[in-house]
Amino acid sequence: MNDTVTFNDQGLESRSLSSYTEQAYLDYSMYVILDRALPHIGDGLKPVQRRIVYAMSELGLKATAKYKKSARTVGDVIGKFHPHGDSAAYEAMVLMAQPFSYRYPLVDGQGNWGSQDDPKSFAAMRYTESKLSKYAELLLAELGQGTSNWRPNFDASLEEPEILPARVPSILLNGTTGIAVGMATDIPPHNLNEVVSAALHLLDNPKADIPELMNFIRAPDFPTDAEIITPKADIQAAYETGRGSVKMRAVWSKEDGDIIVTALPFQSSGSKVLEQIAAQMRNKKLPMVADLRDESDHENPTRLVITPKSNRVDIDILMDHLFATTDLERSYRINLNIIGVDGKPAVMNLKRILKEWLSFRIDVTRRRLDYRLQKVEKRLHLLDGLLIAFLNIDEVIHIIRSEDQPKPSLMQKYGLSDLQADYILDTKLRQLARLEEVKIRAEQEELAKEKSELELLLSSDARLKTLVKKELKASAEEYGDERRSALKERTEAQAFSEKDLVTAEPVTVVLSDKGWLRAAKGHDIDPTSLNYKAGDKFLSSALGRSNQNLFLQDTTGRFYALSAHTLPSARGQGEPATGRLNPPSGSLFTHVVMGDDSQKILLGTDAGYGFVAKIGDLFTKNKAGKAVVSIPKGGKILSPKLVSDENLLIAAVSNEGRLLAFPLSDLPELSRGKGNKIINIPSSRLQAREEFVVDFAVIPEGGSLVVHSGKRYLVMKSKDLEHYRGERGRRGHKLPRGFQKVDRLEAE
């Protein structure tokens, strides 16, 4: 940064606007990161939360105290510690009081503190009352014992603690979210017993890896009974990198044919879920649901009832759809971004968090013991002075009463220190006269014993670790509980496709010569007898179901897909396919095909080439279609043929009356292309349009072939076809005279 600061004649500082702006932004960014948005690893709190908890403890609002108006507490926080507005402080306080937001609430509230349906519907702070919860003692119990560094508050009028001396890894227990500048944090809540067990294991085994720690901390534990469905491997990856996500799914059961939802994911609203389902019902996207209602009450905080239309509805598939499309399933981001012991933000993995917190906890414990040792040593020193005064009580009283400056005399005569002399002089004479040697010596013995214990603890790291372990176990026994969020790996939920919602009714799709489409209900429709526009006529039809796609073939060998249920009724004259599709200019639609995706179909050209494809391979979302059949120069596309049975024969006939039959199995199965040669048509003759294939037919084993020639037709049974059977790609044999000018082939 080019930071050039100059001073003018009056001694005033002058600097460039760019350097000033840059510095101001950096200062602001660092303030947001370090003093607003991110929690500290020590106590797991953001500064505003820490200030609220500390202010409440200073006001005497412990778990055993009476409730006090929240406005007075917030006022105290604002006035003394927090440089922001009262609404921000109150909102932070509300969050710490909501049992559905915090796994272990720090504030115990009376009045309206919001509900799971609407967490922000809490009453104004002048109406609510609050005090600290019992759990908050884990953050405050050791505060006055030399365990915390103190710093001036925002206006330097008094001191506030930098970090509260937490007795448990609070950073993992309640979790937190925060948005800073250029970074954010998302720490999910965890179970106290699990976290303490992992911390104890890490104390005994410093080299333990994350899979080992996950034997204790299996996953986050949210303040809800909903299931965590994320696979263990994904959770492990999140714990190893500090980044990832976790999914939760609602818990439901069947009751008298109804679906009863009894637990929602973390921060999901029951009313919002019902709203989402109702919106789908209104938009006809959920025809299998008949009714919705909310039966939640004080006994059942969550009870959503979904009534299916009939007992034939597959409830598992329905719930799968609802999980995919509503807040019955939610994903939560994990980003373990924390201010570490060194005072710098970092994305940490699970092991590092526990390791750093344990180092913080051992340091806090050492400071607490050290502080107590100093107090004990000071008291022992004073007791030594008191004992000397007691043993020489008359002389001491005489010196105090008679001397103008008794302090130097006492120090000289009895070898007292400055501290001891001050203590004796500060004690009232009446109290000095009442001293008892037995009591002094008993106190000395007691303190000497404590002193040796403290020195022993402070001299040994192993003993210090043992003490930390003992205190962690005690905290877990007192405040620990069972896991709430069950762990159940489940497959990913799938929403219904539009096709799934459509009833499977039989339909006949009709294509006119001018490319108009319509769909008639049923398969007993005569498409040629329908009304057509002037100059238009019937071209092609296909039988299928309303939940299937129809495929249009054009003269370029492209196929186009449309949903059958979206077509206009056959009562009218339909609508042009070009209104929905975008075929190349000059191309014409030639045929329409329908069937299951696995249905096989014969595709080919009059150049004598073809192949077998599956109808599913024709599908495309592209309005411009999909190039499926490659047409040789001079060739034209032929109408597709459905392939129904095994052991089929394919028959091909040319305009010169040459017929060739061979097993269909000789043709390859392709998804697109030119295909293989079916019957030999010389390319020069094809280009001159002298010789080409008139039609193909697919004949079942033992079936007959009908050759249509003008008004005459020839029925050829399987024994008649033997003469025309040959290898694929041959020229074939000529049909009898009178049937050599073939119009079409038909299989029976």
Output the pLDDT for position 4.
66
The least confident of 451-455, 520-524, 699-703 is 699-703
Answer yes or no: is pLDDT of 397 > 60: yes
Would residue 127 show up in a list of annotated catalytic residues for this protein?
Answer: yes
Element (H, E) at 413: helix 406-414
Residue 1 · residue 22 · CB < 8 Å: yes
Average pLDDT, stretch 665-675?
Answer: 88
Answer yes or no: is pLDDT of 651 > 80: yes
DSSP 316: H
- Rounded CA Rg of the chain: 43
pLDDT classification of 300: cutoffs 50, 70, 90: confident
Tell me: the pLDDT tens digits for 317-368? 999 999 999 999 999 999 999 999 999 999 999 999 999 999 999 999 999 9
Say how far apart CA 409 and CA 414 lie, in whole Å: 8
Output the pLDDT for position 33.
93
* Nearest alpha-carbon partner for 252 in 311, 318, 191: 318
Tell me: the pLDDT tens digits for 221-232? 999 999 999 999
Tell me: the pLDDT tens digits for 405-446? 888 988 988 889 999 999 888 888 777 777 788 888 999 999
| Prediction pTM value | 0.75
Answer yes or no: is pLDDT of 178 > 90: yes
| Range from 304-318, 399-413, 467-481 that averages highest in pLDDT | 467-481
Average pLDDT, stretch 11-23?
Answer: 85
C-alpha dihedral sign at 699, 702, 703, 709? positive
Output the pLDDT for position 92.
95
Tell me: the pLDDT tens digits for 730-740? 888 888 888 88
pLDDT classification of 90: cutoffs 50, 70, 90: very high
pLDDT classification of 216: cutoffs 50, 70, 90: very high
Answer yes or no: is pLDDT of 7 > 80: no
* Nearest alpha-carbon partner for 267 in 130, 487, 120, 123: 120
Answer yes or no: is pLDDT of 277 > 60: yes
Answer yes or no: is pLDDT of 501 > 70: no
Say how far apart CA 503 and CA 518 lie, in whole Å: 18
Say how far apart CA 716 and CA 719 lie, in whole Å: 8
Answer yes or no: is pLDDT of 67 > 70: yes
Identify which has the larger pLDDT, 186 or 440: 186
* Nearest alpha-carbon partner for 424 in 385, 380, 379, 377: 385
The least confident of 498-502, 586-590, 682-686 is 498-502
For the chain, the average pLDDT equals 91
Catalytic residue among 127, 135, 332, 724: 127
Answer yes or no: is pLDDT of 1 > 50: no
244: left (phi over 0), alpha (psi -120 to 50) or beta: left
The least confident of 61-70, 145-154, 449-458, 719-728 is 719-728
pLDDT classification of 73: cutoffs 50, 70, 90: very high
Identify which has the larger pLDDT, 259 or 723: 259
Answer yes or no: is pLDDT of 3 > 60: no
